[in-house]
Structure 1
Amino acid sequence: MRIRYRTAVIEGLEVFYREAGDPSAPTLVLLHGFPTSSIAYQELIVALSDEFHLVAPDYPGFGHSSAPAADTWEYTFDHLADVVDQLLDTLGLTRYALYVHDYGAPVGFRLALRHPDRITGLITQNGNAYEEGLTPFWETLRTVWNDPSEQNLAPLRENYTRQATHWQYTHGVRDVTLVNPDKEALDQALLDRPGNQEIQLALFRDYGTNVERYPQWQEYLRSHQPPVLAVWGRHDEIFGPEGALAFARDVKNARVQLLDAGHFALETRGPQIAALARTFLRTLPD
């Protein structure tokens, strides 16, 4: 099945999304992380589109979506979730599974809390919801959450360099020749757009609201028991494997699969993850 590249107008912004598969088939909404966009799911969408309907948006400030300046648009995770929620309503999607990675987890869990009846299941690929999953990588950001002064924000700008983007794609990877350099180059080109660092800093400042909400997300998992597949790059130095194992504490039949991969596990374990996702999605309720 071919991918369609579409745009919808949400809150006056052009919101880009990739769509493939039969719209009457079970839907999987794929929510991307930092610093990438829906391009992260290109191969997975192709792999699953013979059997499922897939929708992968770019958040404002990412990918091909509009990127209004940080001083004119509120870049918070609540607001990103608002936009994705409105997009899914515009597309008439009222039942779907979620695939979340990195930033996709806080966006996805906000959707799940708003519409628990819509969620058929959750695939989390290095998408964290537990303190156990937070590695030492987060210590500098914790300082910012407590005191978002320019002095504390300045070191975070190192996360937007080419070296930092390359590290995210390649750390913990046994065979870096499997990592597509085109994606890394696209991510960096978009990060380098004028004003984009301020957008990303705004979201870094706001990330603490996600950690504060971990108990709410965990209560959602305990109360609603959505089917969960936690498939994780075990060598991720941003969200450690303990974050994957923790899902089994709150969801009785959670499936946890730790892979020989890093943060962007799809880059090196794409076919394996696609197979795991297909098997999992086939078990979900209509």
Structure 2
Amino acid sequence: MAASTYRTADVDGFKIFYREAGPKDAPTLLLLHGFPSAGHMFRDLIPRLADRFHLVAPDLPGFGQSDMPAREKFAYTFDHIAGVIDRFTEVIGLKRFAIYVFDYGAPTGFRIAAKHPERITAIISQNGNAYEVGLSEGWTPIRAYWEDASQKNREALRAFLKPETTVWQYTHGVADATMVSPDGYSLDNYYLSRPGADEIQLDLFGDYKSNVALYPTFQSYFRTHKPPFLAVWGRNDPFFLPPGAEAFMRDIPNATVRFFDAGHFALETHAAEIAAAIRDFLPH
């Protein structure tokens, strides 16, 4: 089993922490995590792929072990997050790579793909949405904040930051909750409890509307470039619905869509099955 290493890269003065495993001359897969997690969400997937692929899993700005500057020094928008990760790939020397996108990692990765289509060899989306039809009613309070950025609507979103909500995100839709290790959600809750993290996450809830506004741009990229595409979806996700996975086939007819009896954090219960799907999908 290939060992993982844990490194930091200086991205124009911004410290980005990342996990890396596998031969550097093998095909590269960039793993992009979501809310409220970090690269540790790939801890079970990486060992299952590192014999064949070069894997890189950065913590997004403001998440995990990467820098979390004050909001006055760094505007927490998805454009800025994608810009830092785009530069990160250049700083560590990634020329061409596939992307695995989940949750917030999807608008991050899709921005990079649309900007540099020549660099993207394939896309794997695990509950990483790019279609309005994929958004559940769970987004209703966040949508209210998009439409009226009042303090009242902002404060209402704090329910998403509660420790019990993180646990719920991990366990909702899972057939057997005893299969979900407490390690992941406990670490996420630790990161969420840091001073200032709550306001940063509320900022990002507000800015998520910029991702929905870019859906037509992402879809145009899919139609124009038709990257090899695999959707591996927890069908019981309370935020990103199965029709969102199937919608990729509108723009990429050869896309492969696979559903698993899992929730939002499908890797917590189905890392082996998702790894097998990736091994079948990606050339090596």
- Please say whether Structure 1 and Structure 2 have the same fold, judged by a TM-score greater than 0.5: yes
- Tell me, in whole angstroms, the C-alpha distance in 2 between the residues paired with 1:175 and 1:29: 30
Query: RMSD of the TM alignment (CA)?
Result: 0.8
Number of the residue aligned with 1:161: 162
Number of the residue aligned with 1:34: 35
Number of the residue aligned with 2:244: 243
- Tell me, in whole angstroms, the C-alpha distance in 2 between the residues paired with 1:278 and 1:224: 22
TM-score by length of 2: 0.98
Q: How many angstroms does 1:267 deviate by?
A: 0.5
Number of the residue aligned with 1:106: 107
The letter for the 2-side match of 1:267 is E
The letter for the 2-side match of 1:233 is G
Describe the SS at the equivalent of 2:9. Answer: strand
Describe the SS at the equivalent of 1:282. Answer: coil
Q: How many angstroms does 1:71 deviate by?
A: 2.3
Q: How many angstroms does 1:156 deviate by?
A: 0.4
Number of the residue aligned with 1:182: 183
- Tell me, in whole angstroms, the C-alpha distance in 2 between the residues paired with 1:215 and 1:67: 30
Q: How many angstroms does 1:72 deviate by?
A: 2.0
The letter for the 2-side match of 1:248 is M
Number of the residue aligned with 2:3: 2
Describe the SS at the equivalent of 2:45. Answer: helix
- Tell me, in whole angstroms, the C-alpha distance in 2 between the residues paired with 1:203 and 1:118: 27
Number of the residue aligned with 2:142: 141
- Displacement over 4 Å in runs of 4+: none
Counterpart check, 1:150 vs 2:155 = no
- Tell me, in whole angstroms, the C-alpha distance in 2 between the residues paired with 1:97 and 1:167: 30
Alpha-carbon displacement from aligned partner over 1:201-228 (angstroms, at most 9, x marks no partner): 1111100000001011011000101010
Q: How many angstroms does 1:11 deviate by?
A: 3.1
TM-score by length of 1: 0.98
- Tell me, in whole angstroms, the C-alpha distance in 1 between the residues paired with 2:222 and 2:181: 34
Counterpart check, 1:71 vs 2:66 = no
- Tell me, in whole angstroms, the C-alpha distance in 2 between the residues paired with 1:227 and 1:8: 29
Matched residue pairs, number? 283
Alignment gaps of 5+ in structure 2: none
The letter for the 1-side match of 2:273 is Q
- Tell me, in whole angstroms, the C-alpha distance in 1 between the residues paired with 2:256 and 2:61: 32
Q: How many angstroms does 1:60 deviate by?
A: 1.3
- Tell me, in whole angstroms, the C-alpha distance in 2 between the residues paired with 1:216 and 1:268: 33
Q: Where do 1:128-277 residues align within 5 Å?
A: 128-277=129-278
Greater shift in the superposed pair: 6-15 or 150-159: 6-15
The letter for the 1-side match of 2:47 is V
- Tell me, in whole angstroms, the C-alpha distance in 2 between the residues paired with 1:142 and 1:212: 13
Describe the SS at the equivalent of 2:30. Answer: strand
Number of the residue aligned with 1:115: 116
Counterpart check, 1:279 vs 2:276 = no
Number of the residue aligned with 1:87: 88
- Tell me, in whole angstroms, the C-alpha distance in 1 between the residues paired with 2:89 and 2:19: 13
The letter for the 2-side match of 1:60 is P
Q: How many angstroms does 1:104 deviate by?
A: 0.5
Number of the residue aligned with 2:63: 62
Alignment gaps of 5+ in structure 1: none
Alpha-carbon displacement from aligned partner over 1:116-144 (angstroms, at most 9, x marks no partner): 00000000000000001000011111111
